Structure 1
């Protein structure tokens, strides 16, 4: 567990942090309509992937490698063990000079996340989790405190970018039942830790790319929370395009009540 955390921090120090607020125009590219990538993303993924394979020689499914060759993501189904890598989660924030970005990795065995790591370069904060063993922030065990009973006191995020107009309207209307709703930080590597440490009660995501959600989902669940599809099935890191919708909450009762409120068709 400690070695992977070191790999992420060292790759960040080598190629990510020196470019924060120092990117030149030629170091930022569009990889798909509305999605950008930087030389820091690509270089960090190469470094992290190589070092993870040295640690455990199994396939690496990295965000930037899959962008170039989508078939690589099928390893999540076909291989018994796979590394997942998100070299800079929150690239838009990174390019804009905002501090909300992270470097992330997970280990997936038989379709289930068994270990995960998130490193937040601006603060130097590390999160990690191991299936059945717990979650930690900078080496201290994370145990999420219970939420208040009243939903009007809950804080949450509803990520609405990829929703169809009808569902978007329903969720935005129903979300008024909660105490405070935000659109999030545009970085799963910042948002999941917020929930795990008690700064939010729930997050609703729609598009769920595996490198974005495997790390934080395990950290939240190992801290006592829930990460599940809207039908109640546990989250698993599927290849892109398999399933949409993911509700993450600080405990089972909050998950059930949040789903009930948000999906109420009368909204």
Structure 2
């Protein structure tokens, strides 16, 4: 019941606050919330709707991207409280503002610092991805199960995000990646990129900055589909307050993850 209800909340909030503004944002509806970071009225209104309805469903703190931008202390609930909701009302805001379809609406439920359920709604594709810890991952109700990767590393294609890596580390990562297949340029939205791995369309993802609302939903989705999402030292991903840049490697199967770590992180 919870899984279906939260999906319904995201779909309805998207229909009410986000989709009517897609390619229809008026002057003054796009603002800068921090240097280099933009927000729209759609982000803020959708987060208010989702937060209110999630609290009605389960009355625990809501850690929303836009609320945390206004009050960073709210993110402490991820570890200070037994349970908390995580919300990304428009993942891929730059894509949304530019009129590109690669954006998503996302939520997660965190208990005792661990993501136990997640939801990704892709409005333009009309596709919902859900995952529940220990129970599996689904696309529109269809169970996702990743097969063991049988191709050699030189055929593996993935996304490598080096923007927040201090050089020369970023250069070294890109140099190491020459041993793999062609890199995908990325889609500018974690809610688009993680499902590509869970669907078997992409082999791996590497991120440096890992804001919790961006990565909690997709990490659980890939893991429950049979892949692996872990920090560079091998520890499993756990959502943390913004500010950390300790990296995250995601792969379609655990053995592939180990091989990728050996290739990509050599000398980094």
TM norm structure 1: 0.98
Higher mean C-alpha displacement, 79-88 vs 152-161: 152-161
- Alpha-carbon shift at residue 243 of structure 1 (Å): 4.5
Matched, 1:229 2:231: yes
Task: Give secondary structure in 2 for the equivalent of 1:25.
Answer: coil
Higher mean C-alpha displacement, 155-164 vs 54-63: 155-164
Q: Distance in 2 between matches of 1:218 and 1:65?
A: 23
Matched with 2:18 is: 16
Matched, 1:59 2:81: no
Q: Alpha-carbon deviations, 1:149-177, whole Å to 9, x = none?
A: 30011111100111111111100101111
Matched with 2:88 is: 86
- Alpha-carbon shift at residue 148 of structure 1 (Å): 2.6
> Mapping of 1:248-263 within 5 angstroms?
248-263=250-265
Matched with 1:74 is: 76
Matched with 1:212 is: 214
Q: Distance in 2 between matches of 1:182 and 1:126?
A: 23
> Mapping of 1:1-267 within 5 angstroms?
1-265=3-267
Does the 8 A contact of 1:158 with 1:203 survive in 2?
Answer: yes
Large movers: runs of 4+ above 6 Å: none
Q: Alpha-carbon deviations, 1:159-216, whole Å to 9, x = none?
A: 0111111111100101111112123111000000000001111100000000000000
**Structure 1 unpaired stretches of 5+:** none
Q: Alpha-carbon deviations, 1:127-161, whole Å to 9, x = none?
A: 00000000000000000122233001111110011
CA RMSD across the alignment: 0.9
The alignment covers a number of residue pairs equal to 266
Task: Give secondary structure in 1 for the equivalent of 2:183.
Answer: strand
Does the 8 A contact of 2:209 with 2:244 survive in 1?
Answer: no
TM norm structure 2: 0.98
Q: Distance in 2 between matches of 1:239 and 1:41?
A: 20
Q: Distance in 2 between matches of 1:201 and 1:182?
A: 10
